Amino acid sequence: MAVNRNFRTCPTTGLVFHEPAEKLMRWNAVVAVVALLIGGVLAIGVLLTRWQAVHLLQADLFYQFLTAHGLNMLVFWIIFFEMAILYFASSTLLRCRLATPGMAWVGFWLMVVGALLNNYAVLRGDSSVMFTSYAPMGAHPTFYAGLILFAVGALIACFVFFGTLVIAKAERTYHGSVPLVTFGAITAAIIAVFTIATGAIILIPTLLWSLGLIEHIDSLMYRTIWWGFGHSSQQINVAAHVSVWYAGAAVVFGAKPMSEKVSRTAFLLYIFFLQLASAHHLLADPGLTSNWKIFNTSYAMYLAVLASMVHGLTVPGSIEVAQRQKGFNNGLFEWLRKAPWGNAPFVAVFISIVGFGFLGGISGVMMGTEQLNLIIHNTLYVPGHFHATVVIGTTLAFMGLTYFLIPVLFRRKVAFGNMATWQAYIFGISMSGFSVFMMGAGTLGAPRRHWDISFAGNPFGYEFPATAWLMIALMGIFGVGALVGGAMYLAITVYSVFLGEKIQTPDFATVSAKRGMAPAPQPVAVGATGHGAGVGAWGMVAPGTFVLALVFLTSFVLYYFVNWKYLSTVWPLR
């Protein structure tokens, strides 16, 4: 077997990088940030148009911007970044050479070409079909072709990831089981394979249809299969950012998972059930029975929600245990008060966990309840919900990871002092306000993807309640805050990567794996087992987290039944 393996050990973290893998991580991350930049610029137009007091763009431009914003953010930014995470979780964490770097580059370039082609289609102006591109509304063939190339590239990256797992096992670069973060990445990659396969099933016929080679695409079939792709891709994000949470807890606190068994079983529940929830997009559609809807939308009895609730407990729980072992063992919350509130990766991960759970998670379950969906479907509640999941949950977690990775991958200091910490607060808090007010407007019926809810000049107008307008204005204001936070991230990242202060590494050397590798990162010395090390209260190692979890549950239960109450007041329907 080839032994041409170049590794370097990061002097600050002790992480071991295979240079070809590292280069792939850098490039994927850079392209991801470019996509975020494009999506962010488009967000300005989208936001300032939906904020009707400003109403910036004309209708055609608005729908065009919205299509491109969705695609660049949801697809290109997130998935490029996830490719970097897959390489990190396999090659770096397993201290293993990357399988077939050449193929990985093929995948990367396919993704780049696909993303460009798709953006070109939207730029043409004849493909403002939203990222969902629901047939029979058709886009230019390059729209679908771009997405297909992108997906093929991503699939190749997934197989490089699985290949690296095989090599690591064969070459025994680790002992026993893979690290938990890698296991989370495996979960993400598995979901990705299903996602991409489903995408192929629907996008290839749609491409042929747009070329005139197929007569007809059925709208219901399209939506059913498309969401198997569209929603599953969001589940890749969930698995990926939960892994980033665990990584954050490990890196910032040296936290050990409370229990490998529980956390991995929770990921296993994701593998089994998470993807079924694609059905929650079809709850308001004809032609699918309630049996199918209820079973699938609930992830088979909410078992994947159970898994998320478990992760939501075990990540902060493991942080609490680590903090208590460091001596912050007083009362319920000393561990939290004494947390590093000035550390950017920590702040980002923390807001990501809280925002994803309280705002994204709870609202997601509401929309995913068969009957409650009736009072939510296609209102602004929906983008309100997913800006909480995919922006506060995923994007903010990735931002935190960036601040950790800039010194590691690019060997530059994060620029502008503690601006990164401020960025995490500003972005996280503004985005939370933005999502909440968007959901508020949606609860009052305001539709999503809509250029003018004042219906100006229409003989049959409708006037939304004044509160809805207030919510939209607040959404606009907080949205501007989020744009500022996003711009800060871009400024910090771009400046640090290209102009940041170089980190000197005097004893830097590339070692071949044959000569052995550097020692593993030093774990925190205290209380090696974590369990029962004399911390905690009430016979629990993490009582503070438990109290927080109960607060979460209480809000969840109350809000859930408030929605049923609201539903019970609308017209009877059967």
- Please report, as residue ranges, which positions from 436 to 455 form the binding site for other proteins (by CB under 8 A): 443-445, 447-453, 455
Partner whose footprint covers residue 383, from other proteins, ligand HEM, none (CB < 5 to 8 Å by kind): ligand HEM
CA 389-390-392 angle, to 5 degrees, is 65
Partner whose footprint covers residue 567, from other proteins, ligand HEM, none (CB < 5 to 8 Å by kind): other proteins
Asked if residue 49 lies in contact with residue 451, where contact means CB atoms within 8 angstroms, the answer is yes
What is the residue-wise DSSP string for 134-145?
-TTS---HHHHH
Phi then psi for 573, rounded to 5 degrees?
A: -155, 130
- Please report, as residue ranges, which positions from 52 to 81 form the binding site for other proteins (by CB under 8 A): 59-60, 63
Partner whose footprint covers residue 150, from ligand HEM, other proteins, none (CB < 5 to 8 Å by kind): none
Two tokens, residue 384: 């309100």
Among 12, 265, 418, 555, binds other proteins (CB under 8 A): 265
Among 122, 203, 225, 471, binds other proteins (CB under 8 A): 225
Using the rule CB under 8 A, is 520 a contact of other proteins?
yes
- Please report, as residue ranges, which positions from 551 to 570 form the binding site for other proteins (by CB under 8 A): 553, 556-557, 560, 564, 567-568, 570
- How many residues bind ligand HEM (CB under 6 A)? The answer is 25
The length of the chain, given as a count of residues: 574
Candidates 186, 39, 165, 28; CA nearest to 109 is: 28
What is the residue-wise DSSP string for 246-305?
HHHHHHHH-PPPS-HHHHHHHHHHHHHHGGGGGGGGGTT-SSS-HHHHHHHHTHHHHHHH
Question: Which of 116, 288 has the CB closer to other proteins?
Answer: 288
Residues β-bridged to residue 574: none
Among 388, 448, 535, 549, binds ligand HEM (CB under 6 A): 448
3-state secondary structure of 502: strand
Give the separation between CA 204 and CA 213, rounded to whole angstroms: 11
Partner whose footprint covers residue 232, from ligand HEM, other proteins, none (CB < 5 to 8 Å by kind): other proteins
How many beta carbons lie within 10 A of that of residue 182, not counting itself?
Answer: 24
Among 383, 400, 428, 500, binds ligand HEM (CB under 6 A): 383
Among 102, 212, 459, 506, binds other proteins (CB under 8 A): 459
Question: What's the closest the beta carbon of residue 72 comes to ligand HEM, in angstroms?
Answer: 8
Among 57, 74, 121, 225, binds ligand HEM (CB under 6 A): 74
Question: What's the closest the beta carbon of residue 31 comes to ligand HEM, in angstroms?
Answer: 15
How many beta carbons lie within 10 A of that of residue 547, not counting itself?
Answer: 14
Using the rule CB under 6 A, is 428 a contact of ligand HEM?
no
Question: Which of 327, 532 has the CB closer to other proteins?
Answer: 532
Give the separation between CA 224 and CA 285, rounded to whole angstroms: 10
Q: Which helix (H) or strand (E) holds 21?
A: helix 19-50
Question: Which of 16, 431 has the CB closer to other proteins?
Answer: 16
| Contacts with ligand HEM, residue ranges (CB under 6 A) | 40, 43, 46-47, 50, 66, 69-70, 73-74, 77-78, 130-131, 383, 387, 390-391, 395, 448-449, 479, 482-483, 486
